Structure 1
Amino acid sequence: MVLGAGSWCARLTRHRAGLNFALLVVAYVLYLTVGAGIFSAIELPYEGELRRELEEARRDFLSNNTCVSDARLEELLARALEASNYGVSVLDNETGRNWDFVSSLFFTSTVLTTTGYGHAVPLSDLGKAFCIFYSLLGIPVTLFFLSVVVERLVVLVARRPVSYFHRRWAVSRSRLAVIHAACLSAVAALLFIFIPAWVFMALEEDWNFLESLYFCFISLTTIGLGDYVPGETHSKEANPHPHLYRLAITVYLLLGLVCVLVVMETCCELPQMRLLRQMFHQENVRELDSETADIIDRDHMSDQMTDVPDHMTLDQFPVIPSVSEQAESLRQSNTSVPYTPASGSAVNGNLR
């Protein structure tokens, strides 16, 4: 019995990563199910109330306008809804255009960043075909561009500050990384969500603060439901410079998306997040002898010494040979077993 229990425990330990992954899948499916249930319980009564109001308004209109038949009214409403789905409103449709240059620039930015509000879509077959080929090339290019920009910004606003304060204050790097990520997230939320929400509340006459906050969050997370799109007012007095306003929104969305990606990348690089991810995948790590492990530790030290303080030069540090050079010297001296190269991730570590 004891041997059986020990074998079962060893088997459980060996497959712990797979069990953790299975629990993660179950938890995610449960999260989806609970979210669907909550949304249904909250929104279904509002949908039913709106349906009753529309039906009452339709009956009142037909009763007050007996010269209009139910079929003709339904035909008009269907045509108006179809045009609205293409971004053309039946209400004062001479006030704005969806496909002037600035509006088209706004459209391309939402398409390539996969935000996709859906308030303006190509009307012609040629436009739909061009959108396919344009997105097919543009979305990968946009992702590559954003990854390069984010990588440079992460070095500038995340890694260098953490390294600087780690050397200056001699505080744990992991603790500094958590504090820095929290501060960076708070500043990003203030600059790109809360303050813009207050600005949109002031500029969009029909939006309250919650609706403005909702728009900023939905847009910067690239969800882009399209139920709230700024600049859609039909009053020139409320929006005297629509093109400038739309251009400013385009710039805001691009900068905000970059900021969100920088925050996400900073949080993903936290040591705590790396340990959490390691719970869900099994790594095949070879057993290393003590001398080889010591070589790898010293190589890690040489990587950490690349961040040189301002008052010191590289000449003041001892030159540490690479792992391959030290392993070759060990083979020649026959003082240990032949060195077996470890995997790239185990040797080089995270250079970030």
Structure 2
Amino acid sequence: MSTALKSCFVLIGFILAYMSYLILGALVFSAIERPVEENLKSELNSLKEEFLNLSCINATAFESFLERVLKANKYGVSILENASLRTNWDLASSLFFANTMVTTVGYGHTTPLSDTGKAFSIVYALIGVPFTMLVLTACVQRLMHPLTYGPISVCQRRAGLQPRTASVMHFIVLVLLVVLAFFVVPALVFSAIEETWSFLDAFYFCFISLCTIGLGDFVPGEKPGQQLRGLYKISVMVYLFVGLMFMFLVLRTFHKLADVHGWTAFFQLPSYDADTEDKEPIIEQEPEEESSQTEKSFVQPLDPRSQASYNSINR
């Protein structure tokens, strides 16, 4: 088995293990939190019936009712009739919650209700956040050659551009494509699905999410009667992971671009040494026989050592 093929299998194994970790977390969160949520809903409904049966509503009962309702609403639990059939802890919603936790987006709309859920969240995030960073790094490392090194090399050979010009033009095109694919198009989709969202609201949600700010003022799939809510939640989860991966790619490309133009040296920032990174890939690979740089660039694009280094571009 070739090194490139072996590297692909290892990367696929990482991704499958990551998906299994998310599913495991979703099952645990659902098992812990759903019964607590059901109990809270039952208590609120009982309180609502008791409140409605009062012959004379006094201020103390009214304040007690509002206090319980507002506290439950903080955790995403509502006693409205059109929201009573929906749960925040089915498999799809739990998977969505686990994903937002380990990617550090964390909208805060759905949070653990029980002490057991809170304790498990701590342990789950301690393992899940570094695991997510590892998977993102492994994926981005494999995207650097076809989406960064390769296009710059093509621009230099076929268009006859200078190295610095080619790197700037590549970065501009990359940013435009990422904005179009992960901000503009998703914003159009979200504004069409979420009836109360304008295009600006949807674009704002995409920006807040992919920057991992996650304010929680806009959360998809939370309106009552949402059709295919489970599929919608999982689709948003996939969008967040792929979007974060390309945001990471843009950041790494910019850091390398700053090295080429001497900006890191000018501002006395740490240099992004591509040669050091290429010698220590995120996934171990076996050494191969020496071949020409051109052959390695096209025959074995997944070998990190075959990638054209930004440091090799004349400044």
TM-score, length basis structure 2: 0.66
Match of 1:265 among 234, 249, 252: 252
Q: Deviations 1:259-296 (Å, cap 9, x if unpaired)?
A: 1111121122114676222123389xxxxxxxxxxxxx
The counterpart of 1:79, out of the listed 58, 65, 68, is 68
**1: distance between equivalents of 2:126 and 2:230?**
28
Alignment of 1:177-256 (within 5 A): 177-235=167-225, 239-256=226-243
Q: Quote the residue 1:139 is aligned against.
A: 129
Deviation at 1:86, TM superposition (A): 1.3
Deviation at 1:154, TM superposition (A): 1.7
Q: Which aligned pairs between 1:1-352 and structure 2 lie closer than 5 A? A: 67-92=56-81, 93-235=83-225, 239-271=226-258, 275-281=262-268, 306-307=293-294, 350=311
Deviation of residue 164 (structure 1)? 2.0
Give the SS at the match of 2:293: coil
Unaligned runs of 5+ in 2: 1-53, 271-291, 299-308
Contact 1:220 1:256 in 2 (8 A): yes
Work out the CA distance in 2 between the residues paired with 1:264 and 1:66: 64
1:68/1:147 Cα in 2 relative to 1: closer, same or farther (>3 Å)?
same
For the residues of structure 1 that align with 2:101 and 2:269, how far apart are their CA atoms? 38
What CA distance in whole angstroms lies between the structure 2 residues aligned with 1:134 and 1:117? Answer: 17
1:79/1:270 CA distance change after superposition, 3 Å? same
SS state of the match for residue 167, structure 1? helix
The residue identity in structure 2 corresponding to 1:183 is: V
Partner in structure 1 of residue 27 of structure 2: none
Shift of 1:72: 2.7
Alpha-carbon distance, 1:116 to partner: 0.3
Larger Rg: 1
- SS of the residue corresponding to residue 122 of structure 1 reads coil
| Contact 2:108–2:216 (8 Å) recurs in 1 | yes
- Could you tell me which residue of structure 2 aligns to residue 48 of structure 1? none
Amino acid at match of 1:78: E
In structure 1, distance between residues paired with 2:57 and 2:261: 67
SS of the residue 2:197 aligns to: coil
Instruction: Describe the superposition over 1:181-220 as per-residue Cα deviations: whole angstroms up to 9, x where unpaired.
Output: 1111111111111111111111111111111111111011
Match of 2:43 in 1: none
The 8 Å contact of residues 267 and 273 in structure 1, kept in 2 or not, is answered as: no
Q: What is the alpha-carbon distance in structure 2 between the residues aligned to residue 276 and residue 223 of structure 1? A: 27
Paired residue total? 228
In structure 2, the residue corresponding to 1:281 is in which secondary structure? coil
Structure 1: gaps of 5 or more residues: 1-64, 284-304, 312-347
Counterparts of 1:75 and 1:277 in 2: how far apart (Å)? 59
Percent identical: 40
Contact 1:117 1:225 (C-alpha < 8 Å) held by counterparts:
yes
Give 1:87's aligned amino acid. Answer: G
Change (3 A) 1:281 1:205: same
Partners of 2:208 and 2:242 lie apart in 1 by 15
Question: C-alpha deviations, 1:124-162, integer Å up to 9, x for none?
Answer: 111111111111111111111111111111222111110
Q: TM-score, normalised by structure 1?
A: 0.60
In 1, are the aligned partners of 2:221 and 2:229 still within 8 Å (CA)? Answer: yes
